[in-house]
Amino acid sequence: MQLVSRWVTLGCSMNVWVSGPAQAPQLPMLTSSGSSSRTAISRPMVLTLAVICLLRHARTRCTLGKTEVGLRAGDLSMSAWKLRLALIAVTAAVLVAGATGCSQTAKHVSGASPGAAITALGGTLFGVSATSGTSAWAVGSYSTATGSRTLILRWNGTAWSKVASPNPGPSYNDLHGVSATSGTSAWAVGSYATATGYRTLILRWNGTSWSNVASPNPGSDNVLLGVSATSGTSAWAVGFYSTSTSSRTLILRWNGTAWSKAASPNPASYSILRGVSARSGTSAWAVGNYSTATGSRTLILRWNGTAWSKAASPNPVPGYDILFGVSATCGSNAWAVGYYLTASGSSRTLILHWNGTSWSRT
């Protein structure tokens, strides 16, 4: 139970109380009437819920307010895999913590059809990539009565418009990152829910439309959080996948023909990658965090053209240190950003710089 509480604290700056035996803890969830009900979920599932919570909401640091949970009374009898992992964790935090949390309201898309110019749109955007002043993409998701749908917006130099995008899952489909190399080539990554777990989601833009591309799923739950492309034949996507006892770093590589899983370091049982930046086929960085007995540590991996290896990285506090994004301009200059928690539980910005020799805090 302590580990569950620690992970939720890591992602949401709060302690979420979980009752029940270690092998079948119970998380409170909202019903349609707003009352609280409980459902038993396996210990590995709870750890996954906490991971989803921190990766989906920690970067926005929203304050607790009215939250669209998206669970109905009937959902409580469904298989745990059919419940949206992120919303379960958020709901537990809302009901128990009663303080600053990671809840976030997603609104329905209204009055916006693909291709229509927009000035405001309900939903959440997690990633953006631009190739010029007249070409940019932003990706995320928006809620529906049955789950969520991918959301892709395009900038043409004058206005943003919604572009049609695939939704392979019957309920929840989310995009977390996007990378464009030209007006006719871009990638967007995320995940979608199935009856047996979450699957990686990779969409490709060919200059005309977005299409779903096959991608590996090594674990029971598989989530992609970042992508970086350098050309039409070279791209990296990062995230994590879950096993029955752990969460492992996930790195996928595009070689111009197919996506394949690349070997990647895992310094702890719970290791996650959240961002990636590639400069060429022989140089790339990936960042995230991994768990320790006392919290979390920054995680930075480096690609040298042959293999990924762990690079030493600063940790301002002995508790929780997390990296969300990275950007490299050359072999001697790169930046990684995230946050750390103080002893009082307050979050502070964290910026690390690579000078060609080592990473240091700025």
273 neighbors 261 (Cβ within 8 angstroms)? no
> What structural domains does the chain harbor?
2-96 (no CATH), 117-361 (2.120.10.80)
Half-sphere exposure of 172 (CA within 13 A, CB side): 22
- Measured in whole angstroms, the distance separating CA 100 from the mean position of its chain's CA atoms is 21
Supply the pLDDT for residue 7: 28
Contacts of 266 (CB under 8 A, 6+ apart): 246, 248, 249, 290
pLDDT for residue 120: 56
What are the Cα distances from residue 120, in Å, to 5, 117, 134, 162, 177? 37, 10, 19, 11, 20
Both structure tokens of 232: 């039409």
Which helix (H) or strand (E) segment holds residue 54: the answer is helix 43-57
Angle at alpha carbon of residue 121, lines to 100 and 337, rounded to 5°: 50
Q: Burial, 17: exposed, middle or buried (Cβ in 10 Å; 0-12, 13-18, 19+)?
A: middle
- C-alpha dihedral, 147 to 11 to 125 to 331, nearest 10°: -140
Per-residue DSSP letter, 270? B
CA distances from 144 to 69, 147, 176 (A): 11, 5, 18
pLDDT at 74: 29
How does pLDDT run across 230-255, given as a tens digit for each residue?
999 999 999 999 998 999 999 999 99
Q: At what angle do helices 43-57 and 85-96 cross, to 10 degrees?
A: 90
Q: Residue 218 and residue 312: Cα distance in Å, rounded?
A: 27
- For the chain, the residue count is 362
Q: Taking a C-beta distance cutoff of 8 angstroms, is the pair 53, 86 a contact? A: yes
Number of H helices, E strands in the chain: 3, 23
Measured CA distances, 16 to 98, 218, 246, 277 (Å): 10, 29, 20, 33
Q: What is the pLDDT of residue 122?
A: 76
Q: Token digits for 54?
A: 């921190």
Query: What are the residue ranges in the chain where pLDDT is below 50?
Result: 1-112
Strand boundaries in 257-346, DSSP class E = 259-262, 271-280, 283-291, 296-303, 308-311, 321-330, 333-341
Interacting residues of 357 by C-beta distance below 8 A, sequence separation 6+: none
Q: What are 43's two structure tokens? A: 């210990």
- Beta carbons of 329 and 305 less than 8 angstroms apart: no
Taking the CA atoms of residue 105, residue 106, residue 111 and residue 117 in that order, the dihedral angle to the nearest 10 degrees is: 110
pTM: 0.73
